[in-house]
Amino acid sequence: MGDMEKNKNLDPNELELEYVPLSYLKAWPGNPKLHEIVAIQASIETYGFRDPVEKDAQTGQLLAGHGRKEALEGLKALYQEQGKPPPLGIVEKAGEWWVPCIKSLPFPEGSSPEGYLLANNKTQSVGGVDKDLLKKMLVRVEKTREGLKGTGYSIEELDLLRSKNKTALETMTGVKENAPHAITDEEAEELLQDSLDELPSPGDATKKSANPHTITPQMARPIGPFYFTPDLYESLYAKLQGIQTKRGLPSLADTLQYLILLEAP
């Protein structure tokens, strides 16, 4: 590979793709976009580097790909320390990683590179997503060997798409409309139907069961805002732990919140 691989016979209206050293890529000063570098790195490691960066033909500075540049810099240091080859789509030569890069076309009169940079950042997110189609695709991808790894989505987000929680869904998808009908998972059904429907409300001193008795401060056990008799507490605690382990949630508090989101109207 020469100093930079490129096609010198392009039509002026054709985009030019070339491989450039990673260290040659320069950020656009003051780029306002923030990036989730860990998510980008996971995507590159899972699927390879399939989305070329783009640089301005006049300044040589990046118009698109700041997050990918930073993600590759971190991966390069890690991979070379571990003796691993670069990800698919990246070429290594003499210790340098070469990156596919689009050389931007000239901008029409009256437009600016910074305007394009802003448009490129903004237009990728303004449309939101179709929640039903997203859910179906996530379900299909979850069944593959890699699952949701590298997609930027988590199993918790998939669970939310199966839930009734409108606010959480709008936050995740960016689409403000009626949430899809709930498909509650079997663990939530078991917990909510077999246990929570019999739990006392906060401040209620008596367990509602076939053998009711007063809950005294000495025997009460709290989970969230509720207090339970020891036997019911042990049963419910075990179920919560099971759901926490299966879903990979960090705490019982997060597990309760997860169940609340599933059942929220």
Task: Give tens-digit pLDDT for 181-225.
Answer: 333 345 444 444 444 444 443 344 333 333 333 334 344 444 444
* pLDDT of 11 higher than 70: yes
Q: 3-class DSSP state for residue 138?
A: helix
Q: How confident is the model at residue 230 (pLDDT cuts 50, 70, 90)?
A: low
Residue 160 identity: L
Arithmetic mean of pLDDT, 34-59 = 94
**Residue percentage of the chain with pLDDT more than 70:** 65
Alpha-carbon gap, residue 37 to 24, rounded angstroms = 20
Q: How confident is the model at residue 229 (pLDDT cuts 50, 70, 90)?
A: low
Comparing 119-123, 124-128, 207-211, the range with the smallest average pLDDT is 207-211
Look up tokens 């879903």; give the residue: 247
Alpha-carbon gap, residue 104 to 147, rounded angstroms = 35
Q: Are 52 and 103 in contact (CB under 8 A)?
A: no
How many helices and strands (H and E) does the chain possess? 9, 7
